[in-house]
Structure 1
Amino acid sequence: METQKIWNNFNEELYFFILKKLKNKNAAQDIFQNTFLKIHKNIPQLKDEEKARAWVFQIARNEVNNYFREESVYVEKFHITKEAAPQQQKHFCCFDKFINELPQIYGEVIELVYIEGKKQKEVATHLSISLENVKARIRRAKSILKKRFNECCKYEIDKNGDLTGESNCAICES
């Protein structure tokens, strides 16, 4: 089987599969290109053409996983003191407030992963839950946080799913 034939058969479906996973057009295009580079490079390993679709999508899944592994950023724990300048507090807006208001099952996972810097697998073991459950809690917590920032602070979610805009919040202004 040739790369061109794989391209003709799977390119659109594969691109939208990747886009659905990443929800970021630019990142999806990069992963899509990397996927086809790996397909082209490893095409001799494909022994059975009937399994081409599964093989292609497994390469894409691996590339998506690599992307998320590289993109996961751990934030050092920070404290905002009462003595901090108002402009410093304004920079963080309602972040601490929103984190503290998360339901406990979501807040503890966010605290462990993003503030304490633990790996998701460690958190799963620590909390005696599955890795999939940790990931689901993180997704739900992020969804809640985005919604709260949008409602309270008038931030908006752009086409890539990122928060954008300026603080426009009565809490932040006081």
Structure 2
Amino acid sequence: MISEWQNHKAQLRSYVSHRIDDADAVDDILQDVYLKASGNMHQLKSKGSLKGWLYRIAHNTIMDFYRQRQQFEALPDDLVAEEQESGKQAREELAECLRPLIDELPEKYGTPLRLAELEGVSQQAIADQLGLSLSGAKSRIQRGRVKFRQQMMACCDFEIGQEGITSYAPKDPLQRAKC
């Protein structure tokens, strides 16, 4: 293994150093690659594939290096968890805003969508309640979502950011109560 390693070490160092900006980390990664390769030689299928196998180990080791290097900010000690009820209240308020638009959908799509999205009923329970197969209930919920989205897009202009919808305004100011 040592003689084969010496044949590929310079190329692997170049490969790793082009992907890692820390010279000390390059040496550490090369050492990890050597240890992983020497400990798993039994997994190598043929000598002809050694170079590719070493590069795959090097690539995976580089990915591990970046995963471990991710910075996380510590949460402040005075951070208090929000109460569960506030989330429930917000969902109920949102449901009341969306309910009129869902009610405008054809009943075969509006009812399953309302049950699934606003009331939190499982799709199997919706299928049982409406006398549908599970796939039929799923299909109606999906189609209801598509129709609801079309309705929303026809009714309002949305501003979307990284956090989701950041703002919206009715396309027709006279429709404000509806949207």
User: Scaled by the length of structure 1, what TM-score is found?
Assistant: 0.42
* Structure 2 length-normalised TM: 0.41
Of Structure 1 and Structure 2, which has the larger fraction of its residues in strand? 2
